[in-house]
Structure 1
Amino acid sequence: MHSFWIIFKQAFLTKATTKSFIITTVIVCASFFLLANMSKILDVFQGEDEDHVLYIVDESGELAPRLQEQLQLADRDIQAVPTEQTEKELKEGIVADTVEAYLVLEQGEELTARYVTKSANELENGSNIEQAVQSLQTILTAEKLNLDNNQVEQLFAPALFEREAVSESSKSQEELSQARGLVYILIMLIYISVIYYPNMIAMEVATEKSSRVMEILISSVSPVKHMFAKIAGIGTLGILQMLAFGLSGFIAIKTAGTSMTEGIYSVFGFADVKISTFLFAVLFFLLGYFLYAVLAALLGSLVSRTEDVQQLMLPMMLLIIVASLIAFSGISVPEANFVTIASFIPFFAPLVMFLRVGMLDVPLWEPLLSIAIMLVTIGLLGWLGARVYRGGVLMYGSAQSLKDIRKAIALGNKK
């Protein structure tokens, strides 16, 4: 057991102390604080109270003040300024950067407006102005029809529309909206984890073989113990890194104190989340990691050059990609039959079953059955992986295909 912990410590510290790992962790954690405070940073460069001047070409002279009223009601930082300049002069001002934009208003049977700015990228800013013009059009139409304010409010009052699902596993629309954001984030974490950390194991094993360090290690430690020590060491490193990411993201959102971050915190479901959802996230993270880690160690033992790792890892990567496609497409239809079936397939279950648990009130036996299937699969892969690993670490030369698994098993039996 002492040798197991030596390899465990070596696998953990070797990766934890690398510059790439430390820099990646710091950059990701710092990016959470950067994104959470992005609105404050933009205010510093753009000017928090800066008003955008919008020149109004209005022959009647009555529409510009009323448009300004609508902009103020909508709390827009846009100042509508009537102008006597011609359109030719205004366009010259836009080219010379002395005019941001202008709006041509004409009132006939209907109100028409034309918004002019310098580039297509700035045309998106016209959505706020378009809403104000639409409100102004509503008021002008109401005046023509001699409608009072109460009648206008009744005319545009939204209908009361409620959603109700009869399925016992369905949640309310509000619960689904909250769960969808949280599940999406956690699925992304699980997806990245089962790609990144198992690939790290395969590269580690291939590196030790290419440098002939493996021959020294297996002379004093059994290949099976070496494999599971690697898996446990890098798995522990992955858990700690994910905890660092989660903690930094949580602190960044809570300390930013902006309306945007508070909205994200609420919409993504962090304000009212079940503890069971996080517990299932951790459980499926661990099961998904060990499932793919054993497979990665198995594949990594077959190659003696790091250049060959990606070639043999391709089948495993395809499994992860298919699982993610099913999970992300199932976010909008979590009760679909293909999602239900995929949630019991062990290589898809870490993502898909967690999706169903997070977004549906599924019976407890379903996630437990999926977990049991995964545990059995991990056990079978562990048994097969141990046999392949025992012979694979002694194989050198270019790995051609998965057919080398049979050679590795035969060589392990001779050992």
Structure 2
Amino acid sequence: MNKLSAVIGFTFMNKVRTKSFLITTLVLALLLTIGIHIPYFIDKFTGNENGPVTVGLVYSDYPELADSLEKYHDRLAASGMRFSKYEQADTALDKDLGDGKIAGYLQFVKTNAESFPEVNYVSKKDSISSGVQTELQAALQSVKTEFITKGTLSDAQVAELNAPVSINVHKLEDTQGGTQNGEDSSKERDFSPANFAVMYALIILFFMTIMMTGNMISAEVTAEKSSRIMEILITSTSPLAQMFGKIIGMFLIGLLQIFVFTAVIAANLSLPHNRASLEGYELDFSQLNPSVLILGLVYFILGYFLYATLFAAVGSLVSRTEELGQAVMPITMLSLAAFYIGSFSMSAPNSLLMKVCNYIPFFSPISMIVRIGMGTPKTWEIIVSIVVLLIAIYVFGWLSAKIYRTGVLLYGKRPTIKELRKAMKAYKI
């Protein structure tokens, strides 16, 4: 145990002090800061200011339509724009547009007496912001309905006519009170922005941790092997303590980076100009399902150790760092496949593909995080998936330890499977 803690401490401190680690962490933190501020920079460079966008509304041609549009807008609980009333399109309107007092103006143009008039939006640019366009289209649709019906419908009927139709999804129940797939319909989980945010963050962090720390583990083993220092280390420490000491040490380094990145993101999002954009996502973490966070962290840790043992074993087989990229490619492809399966199946977390991936240890960490966050996995599915993952960690950990013990002492050309198997038989863990 003392030797294991010594290897963990040595690996952690030795890597944290390197310039490459410090520079990489600093650059990634800087990129995160820039990425979070991109919307703010775009608003500044395009001349947009914080607060509602002011749009001019010309009354001269269709005063009743302009009045209906303004009344509809006033009834909105929240809006990203406001109207400024103009009696007609004249030089005063053009001057306000040129001075930047309004972002553009809206004008109804006559076509014929029966049909709804054309709507023109005039601005200094050849485009309209997506938020203003969405809000204007919804308001104009209501005004158009009122114009066509010509007062034959009440305000309540017009509102009902314009209200979007919601689709409620239910599972088909059988005659025994269950569902067609034997699942309890009461377990249908409503969409929660907080659950989705935590689930997506865990997936991204899992993939980033595997890619960064996994490659660091294999590179560390290969570098020690190529310098022949491994011949000394392998005689002073058991291969299991040495391998898992490196894995746990690199895991702590990954957690340190995650903590730094989380602090950077939180600090940037807490700034006043970013806080308003965050409120638009309606993230209420008091509604977070604790199982999403707890089970998500369990799969995060178990998945990391599974992939880390494989990276360590592969690194021990390579004698030169130039060959490392090609050697770890199969493990990289497995992690990419797991990431893409989980990402593209978020809209169908209970699909057959996701259920099958629950029991494939290379894919189950991400697939189960998605199912727990968005779907309705049964308790026995979670238990069986964790058991399979633990068995896989034990098997691949045992196999990786034997490969590690024999591979680190094989120099020159990459050993063949026959040579590796013969060397592994001579060593027992």
Q: Please report the TM-score for the alignment, with normalisation by the length of structure 1.
A: 0.80
Two-structure CA RMSD over aligned residues (Å):
4.0
Question: Against the structure 1 CA distance between its residues 187 and 136, is the aligned structure 2 distance closer, same or farther, given a 3 Å change threshold?
Answer: same
User: Paired residue for 1:112?
Assistant: 118
User: Paired residue for 1:261?
Assistant: 278
Residues 57, 106 of structure 2: 8 Å contact kept? yes
Once the two structures are aligned, what percentage of the paired residues are identical? 31
Q: How does 1:191-206 map to 2 (within 5 A)?
A: 191-206=207-222
**How far 1:100 sits from its partner (Å)?**
5.2
User: Paired residue for 2:143?
Assistant: 136
Tell me, in whole angstroms, the C-alpha distance in 1 between the residues paired with 2:387 and 2:324.
30
User: Paired residue for 1:10?
Assistant: 10
Question: Against the structure 1 CA distance between its residues 36 and 5, is the aligned structure 2 distance closer, same or farther, given a 3 Å change threshold?
Answer: same
Question: Against the structure 1 CA distance between its residues 397 and 327, is the aligned structure 2 distance closer, same or farther, given a 3 Å change threshold?
Answer: same
User: Paired residue for 1:282?
Assistant: 297
**How far 1:344 sits from its partner (Å)?**
0.6
Match for 2:120: what amino acid? R
User: Paired residue for 2:368?
Assistant: 353
SS at match of 2:349: coil
Match for 2:207: what amino acid? Y
Question: Against the structure 1 CA distance between its residues 187 and 141, is the aligned structure 2 distance closer, same or farther, given a 3 Å change threshold?
Answer: same
Residues 115, 126 of structure 1: 8 Å contact kept? no
Tell me, in whole angstroms, the C-alpha distance in 1 between the residues paired with 2:319 and 2:282.
47
Tell me, in whole angstroms, the C-alpha distance in 2 between the residues paired with 1:99 and 1:255.
27
Residues 102, 117 of structure 1: 8 Å contact kept? yes
Counterpart pick for 1:47 among 31, 42, 49: 49
Tell me, in whole angstroms, the C-alpha distance in 2 between the residues paired with 1:55 and 1:145.
23
Question: Against the structure 1 CA distance between its residues 206 and 54, is the aligned structure 2 distance closer, same or farther, given a 3 Å change threshold?
Answer: farther
Residues 196, 374 of structure 2: 8 Å contact kept? yes
**How far 1:365 sits from its partner (Å)?**
2.6
Task: Tell me whether 372-381 or 232-241 shows the greater mean CA deviation.
Answer: 232-241
Question: Against the structure 1 CA distance between its residues 169 and 386, is the aligned structure 2 distance closer, same or farther, given a 3 Å change threshold?
Answer: farther
Aligned residues: 406
User: Paired residue for 2:84?
Assistant: 79
Question: Against the structure 1 CA distance between its residues 234 and 163, is the aligned structure 2 distance closer, same or farther, given a 3 Å change threshold?
Answer: same
Task: Tell me whether 219-228 or 298-307 shows the greater mean CA deviation.
Answer: 219-228
Residues 32, 252 of structure 1: 8 Å contact kept? no
**CA offsets, 1:165-203, max 9 Å, x none?**
343177445356653343222222222222222121011
Match for 1:297: what amino acid? A
Q: How does 1:203-218 map to 2 (within 5 A)?
A: 203-218=219-234
Residues 51, 79 of structure 1: 8 Å contact kept? no
Match for 1:386: what amino acid? A
Tell me, in whole angstroms, the C-alpha distance in 1 between the residues paired with 2:402 and 2:249.
21
**CA offsets, 1:30-75, max 9 Å, x none?**
7777777888888887433575454749545665555444455554
**CA offsets, 1:82-126, max 9 Å, x none?**
54459xx97xx9999999545442243212213344555546343
**CA offsets, 1:255-281, max 9 Å, x none?**
8694542454626xx322233322212
Unaligned runs of 5+ in 2: 172-178
Residues 292, 372 of structure 2: 8 Å contact kept? yes
**How far 1:22 sits from its partner (Å)?**
3.6
Unaligned runs of 5+ in 1: none
**How far 1:326 sits from its partner (Å)?**
2.0
Question: Against the structure 1 CA distance between its residues 307 and 412, is the aligned structure 2 distance closer, same or farther, given a 3 Å change threshold?
Answer: same
Tell me, in whole angstroms, the C-alpha distance in 2 between the residues paired with 1:378 and 1:117.
62
SS at match of 2:286: coil
1:296 aligns with 2:303: no
Q: How does 1:10-409 map to 2 (within 5 A)?
A: 10-25=10-25, 46-49=48-51, 51-54=53-56, 56=58, 59=61, 63-64=65-66, 67-74=69-76, 75=79, 76-79=81-84, 81-84=86-89, 101-107=104-110, 108-109=113-114, 110-117=116-123, 119=125, 121-122=127-128, 124=130, 125-142=132-149, 144-156=150-162, 162-165=168-171, 166=179, 167-168=183-184, 171-172=187-188, 174-175=190-191, 179-246=195-262, 249=265, 258-264=275-281, 266=283, 270-397=285-412, 399=414, 404-409=416-421
Residues 389, 408 of structure 1: 8 Å contact kept? no
Tell me, in whole angstroms, the C-alpha distance in 2 between the residues paired with 1:147 and 1:34.
51
Question: Against the structure 1 CA distance between its residues 71 and 30, is the aligned structure 2 distance closer, same or farther, given a 3 Å change threshold?
Answer: farther
Question: Against the structure 1 CA distance between its residues 177 and 68, is the aligned structure 2 distance closer, same or farther, given a 3 Å change threshold?
Answer: closer
Question: Against the structure 1 CA distance between its residues 152 and 8, is the aligned structure 2 distance closer, same or farther, given a 3 Å change threshold?
Answer: closer
Tell me, in whole angstroms, the C-alpha distance in 1 between the residues paired with 2:281 and 2:129.
27
Tell me, in whole angstroms, the C-alpha distance in 1 between the residues paired with 2:218 and 2:268.
34
Q: Please report the TM-score for the alignment, with normalisation by the length of structure 2.
A: 0.78
Residues 350, 376 of structure 2: 8 Å contact kept? no
SS at match of 2:360: coil
Tell me, in whole angstroms, the C-alpha distance in 1 between the residues paired with 2:189 and 2:390.
34
Question: Against the structure 1 CA distance between its residues 21 and 379, is the aligned structure 2 distance closer, same or farther, given a 3 Å change threshold?
Answer: same
Match for 2:316: what amino acid? S
Tell me, in whole angstroms, the C-alpha distance in 1 between the residues paired with 2:164 and 2:426.
77
Match for 1:394: what amino acid? L
SS at match of 2:118: strand
Residues 239, 404 of structure 2: 8 Å contact kept? yes
Tell me, in whole angstroms, the C-alpha distance in 2 between the residues paired with 1:24 and 1:200.
12
Tell me, in whole angstroms, the C-alpha distance in 2 between the residues paired with 1:357 and 1:130.
37
SS at match of 1:271: helix
**How far 1:212 sits from its partner (Å)?**
3.3
